[in-house]
Amino acid sequence: MTHGRYERRGPRPVRRLWVVLLAAGLLAAGCAGGGAGAQEEDAQAEREAPAGDVSPVAEVARRIEPSVVQVNVSSIQTSPYGPQEAQGLGSGVVYREDGYVITNNHVVEGADTVNVAFADGSVEKGEVVGGDPYTDIAVVKVDRVNLPAAEFADSGDLVVGQLAVAAGSPSGFQSTVTSGIISGLNREIPPEITGGSQQSALVDLIQTDAAISPGSSGGALVDRTGSVIGINVAYLPPAQTGAVNLGFAIPSATATDVADAIIEDGRAEHPYVGVSLIDLTPEIARRFDVSVESGAIVTGVDPDGPASDAGIEPGGVVTAVEGEKITSTGDLLAALRRHDPGDSVELTVAREGEAREFTVELEGKG
């Protein structure tokens, strides 16, 4: 980045190869039902809206606006011309009234200075408490109390078709609100899309057609009550995908769990199996004469990791976790994240036409 340039911290365009792979993954992914019921709820909300043509979205915007902030960052980077200042921005959500703000890890990673701009026009210096590259969640602390903390809803109760409102600072336009619906659940995207440093794909994401743009990263995705159901993290550029309004958010349950761990310990710990994985597709299965058509292929095993201790070897295909069917690496990661380090989980692994059960004691990794 060049001196004085203000970079909007948001998802970077993804190369076409990743777009093709991602598109295939999305077509194969399941989504929850209930769209008709959610649409009826939206209609009911419209009928019950206050007088004066105030729409449900306007009421949601009024409730969430004080809790959404702009996160301005800067860093000193080396270049052939010497040290240069790089600047960027993203969004955040006030998590606790005693000064804690949730944002995306890719917004604040590598930042030397962080400033948080509130909806009331005030600005406070922020300190990065910690960040988690696996989930792309980070926590920033400001020296201020009595902040307008947002209410976080249970993201496990979401249904496709329900109202979704995104709030953030796209392109630096603070307190911008867009609306749409939840378009899908349990989505997966590779790390290249966020521009972050996480090693694995982001999984269990909420898909929405509410517009999410560069600078929206770290902002709020909220429901009809104004409660946060997700933290905005990425979008797919229409110029590369040929599709519009493909935005993604990290579920609130994941965001708050990770934020709590960061606030308490400075880091989040995740269950570690000790395997390298790729998706098994029907094409790969036919090419290599694999006995199953979907799952997560074990391409490598950490010799000192729990999978090795359990007897899992490269070449097997993980098809289930605790009896829950696994069709991709994203499914496996999502299933494992529902467990804690120290838990024992049963993995079903297919190899040479046979399925075997392996009990793996998860380790922690942060």
Task: Verify whether residue 136 is a known catalytic residue.
Answer: yes
- Measure the CA–CA gap between 129 and 264, rounded to whole angstroms: 10
Task: Verify whether residue 257 is a known catalytic residue.
Answer: no
Of 144, 141, 137, 139, which is closest to residue 127 (Cα–Cα)?
A: 141
Q: Which of 217, 227, 294, 328 is catalytic?
A: 217
φ, ψ of residue 24 in degrees (nearest 5): -65, -40
Other Cβ atoms less than 10 A from the Cβ of 260: the count is 15
Query: What are the helix and strand counts (H, E) for the chain?
Result: 9, 21
Quick one: CA dihedral 55, 71, 152, 63, positive or negative? negative
The HSE-up count of residue 193 (CA atoms within 13 Å, CB side) is: 30
Query: Do 269 and 135 form a contact (C-beta atoms < 8 A)?
Result: no
Q: Which of 106, 155, 204, 328 is catalytic?
A: 106
Tell me how long the chain is. Answer: 366
Q: Which of 132, 136, 204, 331 is catalytic?
A: 136
The HSE-up count of residue 226 (CA atoms within 13 Å, CB side) is: 17
Strand partners, 272: 363
Question: Would you please indicate which residues are annotated as catalytic (active-site) residues?
Answer: 106, 136, 217
